[in-house]
Chain A
Amino acid sequence: EIVLTQSPATLSLSPGERATLSCRASQSVSSYLAWYQQKPGQAPRLLIYDASNRATGIPARFSGSGSGTDFTLTISSLEPEDFAVYYCQQRSNWPPVYTFGQGTKLEIK
């Protein structure tokens, strides 16, 4: 079973700053890695798929990179609405089990 480890657990930054979130897989997941954003009381929203592609309607300040086992979500300049919890996700080949990282909480400093 592939385990996804996100770091840091909590990231405290101010609006306008750059955020860098990490997701490490216990074994290679190729580029099939996604990122989701979840705000309090809301469902998760797909941000990034295939490691680096933005989902529909996602602002350009969000970008993803990486392949294999190390992945990064970058928010170039934080807006007030970006403070939320972010999860990475992958699917193993067989059996097709989906796994989420434990999440990174991005909070206002």
Chain B
Amino acid sequence: QVQLVESGGGVVQPGGSLRLSCAASGFTFSSYGMHWVRQAPGKGLEWVAFIRYDGSNKYYADSVKGRFTISRDNSKNTLYLQMNSLRAEDTAVYYCAKDWPTWLVLDYWGQGTLVTVSS
């Protein structure tokens, strides 16, 4: 079965950096695009970034463009999110999710990792 396990969350000061990881199993990771989606405490879902199956194209929400970088290592079945210049408003649970390209949806999600930006 599909499993997505995020790690790397924690507390970081404003202006700091953090790298999240998402370990994938149960499907052919190198054949699917992947997403990061976040959810601030008590708020709704916000799409953050998408990377194509081969890493050739990456797309970002305006709120993180220029500060966050999505990447992947298909040899390790792992997705990453490098977050720089972090702000208080980046505080959220970050989920990785598998793309279902036929229907433009996110069909499997990890359990999330909490990032807190605070001094």
Q: Scan A77-90; emit 1 where CB is below 8 A from any B CB, else 0.
A: 00000000101011
23 CB-based A-B contacts, threshold 8 Å: A32-B103, A32-B104, A34-B104, A34-B105, A42-B111, A43-B110, A43-B112, A44-B37, A44-B45, A44-B95, A44-B109, A46-B106, A49-B107, A53-B103, A85-B44, A89-B105, A96-B50, A96-B59, A98-B47, A98-B50, A98-B104, A99-B47, A100-B44
Q: Scan B90-101; emit 1 where CB is below 8 A from any A CB, else 0.
A: 000001000010
- The residues in A between 16 and 35 inclusive whose CB is less than 8 angstroms from any CB of B are 32, 34
- The residues in A between 33 and 53 inclusive whose CB is less than 8 angstroms from any CB of B are 34, 36, 38, 42-46, 49-50, 53
A14 at the interface (CB under 8 A from B): no
Do the beta carbons of B59 and A97 come within 8 Å of each other? yes
Do the beta carbons of B47 and A97 come within 8 Å of each other? yes
B46 at the interface (CB under 8 A from A): yes
- The residues in B between 73 and 119 inclusive whose CB is less than 8 angstroms from any CB of A are 95, 100, 103-112
Residue of A32, A43, A91, A99 contacting most chain B CB atoms (<10 Å): A43
Bound CA span A90–B103, Å: 10
Residue of B95, B103, B109, B111 contacting most chain A CB atoms (<10 Å): B103
B residues contacting the other copy or chain, number (CB 8 A): 21
4 closest Cβ pairs, A-B complex:
A98-B47, A43-B109, A91-B104, A34-B105
B61 at the interface (CB under 8 A from A): yes
Q: Which residues of A contact B108 (CB under 8 A)?
A: 46
Bound CA span A36–B107, Å: 9
Q: Which of B47, B50, B104, B107 contacts A100 (CB 8 A)?
A: B47
B72 at the interface (CB under 8 A from A): no
How many A-B residue pairs have C-beta atoms within 8 angstroms? Tell me.
60
Do the beta carbons of B95 and A34 come within 8 Å of each other? no
Bound CA span A73–B36, Å: 25
Give the distance to chain B from A53, nearest Cβ to Cβ, in Å: 8
- Give the nearest-CB partner of A50 in chain B: B103
Give the distance to chain A from B10, nearest Cβ to Cβ, in Å: 19
Q: Which residues of A contact B103 (CB under 8 A)?
A: 32, 34, 49-50, 53
